[in-house]
Every structure is written in structure tokens, then in C-alpha cells.
Structure 1
Amino acid sequence: MKILNLHISEYKNKMTVEYNSFEKKNMSENKNRGDISDCQQNLLDSNQFLFEDSFLRTVLVSFFEAYNPLHIYFLVFFTVLDFFCNISFIVVLSQKELRTSGINLTMIMIALCNFSSVTLNLFDKMLKLLSEETYLRALYNYLENFLNLYVPVMADYLVVQMTFCRVMALYSNSDKWKGRKVAVTISAVLWIFIGMLSSAVLEITEIEKTLTGKYAVTIPDEYIENGCIVFRMSLLFYGILFDIVPLLLLFIFFLLILCKLNSFKAHRKKTMGKSSSSGIENSSRLLQVVLIMFFLVKIPSAAVTIFSAVYMIDYYMFVKKWTFQFIEILLTFNASTSFIIYCIMSSQFREIFVRLFVPESVKQRMQSKIMKNSLVVTTRKMAWQ
């Protein structure tokens, strides 16, 4: 969550990241003035475990020293993959054959959110390299904090909406939950509700002119008074509402889908004596795979978010440097997983994708190869008869 990285580096006049300086600050008698180092009175790592020559520190340092030069290459690869996958995803799902489905319409909005998130992150990195710390740059960062919170959270809640509609379709036997009207109505409510909640992040940040004459996005002093109680509660609120709640809802819906699919299997086996798959089961299985990937990516991110809200100084001093790149790669990779899953599991999606993006000469070669393979298989079957 971008709110957890609110340019803390700009607080060099308020926060010293060295452990000894933090201890000296805690022993100071002047506690009236707000200071971000007051956000946590006692460090979890009070014996400086990660700063000593421990086995864990040696392993972590060795791993990240080996991985760090490769991180930029992984990041560039997944960013390019995200652009291709999400643009292709939107184009394919917008076709007449697919856009009538409520799930596909929701997936288009999720792809738009993923594409926007990747674009914002890429633009932010380019801006850091090319732009000086002017007021316009700080204003962009101020608005970007809101967008980087709003857009990814909206994508998460759209996944919740999609899963909820599938559960209702399974348990009510009503086609209205699979249609576009319900999807548009629920998503419109979510866009407004999540947008209003996310806009509150603009209140806990401000543009400030530093001692060097540069501009930066910082946290107002009133939010870091009294042990940063307001700022920490804000982070905890966002962490629970935007990370934990979607995970809990999706887990409940996931279990409901599994129960209904098992019920379908048992009923069909009892009445028909075979285990052929129905259309609603196939789409539900596709949704299950999407949810599993969502859990694998979002659970580590949610854990880090909650930890950073409760143990803020520990997070920035000890944990962030070990987890930031890992979480960044996970979230970047997750932006392209839906497209890959659809390509693997949906034959109709593959057919439309090939029709739109594969050149005619390549399609003819593919068809010729498929015909040859089918002819070989048929010949072998006839020979064994």
C-alpha cells in the first residue's frame, strides 16, 4: 500500500534510522513535540539482532546481495508483460462474444486498474530519475499517493464483487447475477465508496518546503503527536479495510464456491453416473484459480501492511529493506496473472485472442500442424483396432 511509503526519507530532520539515535530519543525528557520516531516506543529487535553477525542476517544479506542486481531486470520484464497482458485482456474481453458476461465486464475493469497501477509506478520511477524536487513534482506525488491507494484497492474489491456474483449465481440459480446490469451497478457503488475512503489519505499528507529549498510530501505534525496515535490508527484502519477485509470476504466466498461445486458433483454422479463438467462449473473453476493466485500475492502484502502500522519503526529500520523488493515483484507479477489464467483455461478466450493478434500466416501453420497431429493420432487408433 503506497500510503505506507509516504516519502519517509524526507523526515531526516525528524527521524534517525540508526538504532542508537532512536534509543537516545526515547530517553529524552521532551516528549511534547511530535516526532515520527515517537511512533513506536520500544523496538521489537531491542538486542539489535539484525545488526549483529547472526546467521539470519548473514543469509539475508547474502541472498539480497545476489538478487539486488537482478531485481531491475525482473521488474522491467514483468512491467512489459503487464502492459501486453492487460491491453490484450481488455481488447479480447471487449469483443461481442465475451462482453455480455458480468464476470468478463468486471475483469475488464480489473485489467484497467492493473494497467493504471503499472503505468503510475513506471511514471513515478521515471520522474524520480528525470525530475528535480520542485513544487509540481511534489504535487504529483501528493496526488499519486491517492491514486496508488485507490486503484489497487479498487481492483481487489472488484475481485470480491466478481466472486460474490458467482456465489449468488450458484446458490440462487438466477441468471441476473451473471449479467452486465448487476456487475455495473455493484461496481459503480464500489468505485464511489472506495474513492471516498481513499481520498482521506490526502488529509494525512501535505506538501512541505524542506530546509534545502526543495518540496516534498510529508506527514503533518498533528498526525505524529502523542506517539503518532492518529497516523498509526489511520494506517491500521486502511490496512484492515483495504487488505484484511477483502481477503476474509474472498476466503468465505471461496469456501462457498467449493461447497457448491462438490454438491453439484455428488448430485450429477448420483443421477447421471458420470462426471461431465457444466458451463457454470468451468467458469467457477477458472475463478478459483484466479482467487488462489490472489491469496498467494495479497497475504504477504497484507501481513507487511499490518506489521508496519503496529511496529512502524521496526518496519522501516529492519523489515522494509528485506521485504520491499519481494512485495514489489509479487504485485507486479500479479497484474498479469488473470490474462495468463484465462489463456490456459478458456478455449473461447484463446480462439478470440488468436483471431485478433496472431498473423494469418502463423494461424495457417498452426492449423496445418494441428491437422497433421490429429491425422497421426487417428491413424494410430485405426492401426490398433
Structure 2
Amino acid sequence: MDGDDVAYCMPEGPLFQRAYVRVHGYIALLICLLGSAANSVNIAVLSRKEMISSTNSILTGLAVADLLVMIDYIPLALHIYTDICAELNRNSYAWAVYVYFHSIFSQTFHTISIWLTITLAVWRFIAIKFPQKNRTLCNKKNTNIAIAVAYAVCPILCLPIYFAMKIRIIPSKHGHDNTTLNDTDFILNVTESKEPEYAIVMTENEELLTAIFWIYSVFIKLIPCVVLSILSVLLILKMKSSDRRRQKLLKKSAITSNEGEKARLNEDGGKRGGGGGGGRTDRTTRMLVALLGLFLATELPQAIFGLLTAIAPHLFKVCYYAFDSCYLGAGEVMDLMALVGSAVNFVLYCSMSRQFRSTFTRLARKVLPLGTQGEPVTALKA
């Protein structure tokens, strides 16, 4: 590492990393526990019979992926970043195997949630842009196929990560092992234990490592962010256009004395708003735009950072490790951003969907011993 490299992110990066890592485990653990509970509720509510729709099926698949990511992260947060399990050997072979598994598993299911979010945006765009074709293109069968494809293809897309890492014995302090580790080795905690200790090490093949960073930053992060940014803008423009058209129709209706003309205008407004229930359609679209905005806020910084690392590999050894841990983009700061994005969907659904709130309330009354069961409500399908 030469003097020019040191100029990047120094010394603020390492100082920040050392300060933040002390509290990261406890913050991440709290988010994972709350997020796991929230996503479990999302699955329970969205899979109810009265909630069945193409949009809610995708949201259910998204909640499953987010839930698995959080459950997988809890042991990591406990074991590495907190003192709760400090007495356990953090460099045992079994733990190295788990970290190896975690690196692949978490990235795979996070990628699944990314592409399901894209599917959700595409489905919504079709619903408001081509309402006549919505029932054909976005029917239940096609939705299930899209979800299945995401769960089948994303593990293949993340397969190169499997070849980027391997488990290696940590060199002995007493000189009995001539093995050397490079700058990209993931050593959790070197101790004086007599038992052999292990580390996750990155491949020495720089071409493979660079290719993996291009896959991670461009195909898994940047392209989805660009696509979602475009779709978000289109959805917002379409909502504004629908609002203006509805306002014009209301003004015409107010000054029209012919009752038949009023009915025709109202019917026309409903059709143009998305096949009936224009206000309901707009509420659903606004909720999804908020969901996409949240996704972009958590994923775009990772995409940009990953792209810069792929363009300038020397940043991987300096800046990337200052803000990341040692296993392929699943570092402390980046992890926290992804976990927050996966955990707050429940709050978003509750705040923006009356149907979700009603179904959740009735489900809670059935499960909890207190309270009385309310009257059933008519499903407000988008």
C-alpha cells in the first residue's frame, strides 16, 4: 500500500470503523429482532385470504426473503459484535463455516428481495399505465412465476461469491505454520489458544475478485437502482397526471346539470384511474413509491461504493475495509443500512394501507387473549 493509497479515507475511515464497531452488534441485534417480528407479521397479514392479490403475493415473497436475512444475521451479531458470546471461540472451524455460509446466504436472499422489489415496481407500472392488460400480464400465475424465478435465479447470480472465499488455518504465532494471509483475510480474533484457528480468506485471483465486484456493484446493486429510479419517476408522473385529470372531471361534473353526463364522467374517471377505485389505486401506488424510495436510500450508496471499488481495486484495501468488514460487501455500515430497509416495511404498510391495518387488527384480536373480535371488513384489493 503506497502513500497515494493512504490518502484515501485516512485516517477518518479506520477511526470511524473502530468507534462504530463497538455498538454495531447491539444496534443490529435490536433491528434484527424487531424486523424479524415485523416481517413475520407481514407474512401472516399479507397471506390472509382477504388480502390475496398479485401485489400482496410479491410483498409476501419480499417479507420471507427479508426475514431469512435477519434471522441469519442474529448469530453473527451476537458472536462477533457483542460480548454476549465472548467466551466462545470466534476462530473455530465450525464458526468459520458459518461465516462462509452467512456470506453467501445473506447476499443471495438480499438479492432476491432486490429483484422482487423491481418486480413489484414493474407490476405497479403496468397496472396504472396499461390497466386493460393488467389482469392478463399481472395475473396470479405470472406473479407466482416471477417470484419463483427470483428465488431460483438469484442464487445462481450470487454463485461466484462461493468461489471467492475459502477457509484457511490462521498462521501460528510460534512459527510452526508457514501459511501467510493477505490483506483480504477475515480474521475474527487471534488468541493464544492451542487449538487450531481458522479464517475466511479471499481468493488471490485478482481477476475473479474484480469480476465479482462488478457483478455485485453493477448487476446486483446499480442496475436495480437505476431501473427503480426510472420506474419511481414514471409512477410519480402518472399519479400526478391522474390527479389532474380527476380534478378536471370533478370540476366538469360540478357544473354539469345533466345527470347522465355526470354518470358518464364519473365512469370515465374511474376507468382512467385504473379500472375503478382510482383513489384506492393511487393510495397503493403512493405506498409502493414510498417503498421504492426507501429501497433506493439504503441500496444506492452501496451500489456507488461497490462500483468505485470495482473501478479502483486499491480502494478495496483502504476505504472498503474502513467502512466494511472483510467479506464481500456485508460490512457493518452497509449491513445496517440493508437491515433498516428490510425492517421498516411493516411501519410503511400500517401507515399507508387501511386494508393492511384492518386485517392486522382483526388478526391480532384473534391471536391475543385480550379484546373482542371485530366485524369483518370488505377487502380493499389494489
Q: Bin the TM-score by the shorter chain.
A: 0.7 to 0.9
Is the CA contact 1:101–1:178 (under 8 Å) kept in the aligned structure 2?
no
Over the matched positions of the two proteins, sequence identity in percent amounts to: 19
Cα deviation, 1:236-261, whole Å, max 9, x if unaligned, reads 22210000011011111112212222
Equivalent residue number for residue 205 of structure 1 = 165
- Structure 2 letter corresponding to 1:83: S
2:220 equivalent to 1:242:
yes
Question: 2: distance between equivalents of 1:352 and 1:235?
Answer: 43
Equivalent residue number for residue 93 of structure 1 = 46
- Structure 2 letter corresponding to 1:268: R
- Structure 2 letter corresponding to 1:161: T
Equivalent residue number for residue 148 of structure 2 = 188
Cα distance change, pair 204–246 in 1 and its aligned pair in 2 (3 A): same
Question: 1: distance between equivalents of 2:154 and 2:9?
Answer: 40
Alignment of 1:231-310 (within 5 A): 231-273=209-251, 277-310=278-311
TM superposition shift of 1:102:
1.0
- Structure 2 letter corresponding to 1:97: E
Cα deviation, 1:218-246, whole Å, max 9, x if unaligned, reads 2333x1xxxx2331132122210000011
Equivalent residue number for residue 8 of structure 1 = none
Equivalent residue number for residue 202 of structure 2 = 219
Cα deviation, 1:123-153, whole Å, max 9, x if unaligned, reads 2234544345343333333232221211101
For structure 1, which segment, 149-158 or 174-183, has the greater mean C-alpha deviation from structure 2 after superposition?
174-183
| Equivalent residue for 1:146, pick from 95, 100, 104 | 104
Is the CA contact 2:96–2:198 (under 8 Å) kept in the aligned structure 1?
yes
Question: 1: distance between equivalents of 2:95 and 2:20?
Answer: 31
- Structure 2 letter corresponding to 1:179: N
Equivalent residue number for residue 10 of structure 2 = 50
Equivalences, count = 313
Question: 2: distance between equivalents of 1:72 and 1:104?
Answer: 32
Question: 2: distance between equivalents of 1:247 and 1:91?
Answer: 29
Cα distance change, pair 49–286 in 1 and its aligned pair in 2 (3 A): closer
Alignment of 1:1-385 (within 5 A): 22-23=1-2, 43-46=4-7, 50-51=10-11, 57=12, 70-98=23-51, 100-128=52-80, 129=85, 130-173=88-131, 174-212=134-172, 213-221=196-204, 223=205, 228-273=206-251, 277-318=278-319, 320-322=321-323, 325-358=332-365, 359=368, 361-362=370-371
Cα distance change, pair 70–148 in 1 and its aligned pair in 2 (3 A): closer
TM-score when scaled to structure 1?
A: 0.72
Cα distance change, pair 147–65 in 1 and its aligned pair in 2 (3 A): closer
Question: 2: distance between equivalents of 1:176 and 1:269?
Answer: 29
Q: Which has the higher helix share?
A: 1
Is the CA contact 1:43–1:313 (under 8 Å) kept in the aligned structure 2?
no
- Over the aligned positions, Cα root-mean-square deviation in angstroms equals 3.0
Question: 1: distance between equivalents of 2:218 and 2:18?
Answer: 33
Equivalent residue number for residue 19 of structure 1 = none
Gaps of 5+ in 1: 1-21, 24-41, 52-56, 368-385
Cα deviation, 1:301-322, whole Å, max 9, x if unaligned, reads 2222223333444344345435
Question: 2: distance between equivalents of 1:115 and 1:303?
Answer: 26
TM superposition shift of 1:356:
1.7
Is the CA contact 1:169–1:177 (under 8 Å) kept in the aligned structure 2?
no
Is the CA contact 2:29–2:77 (under 8 Å) kept in the aligned structure 1?
no
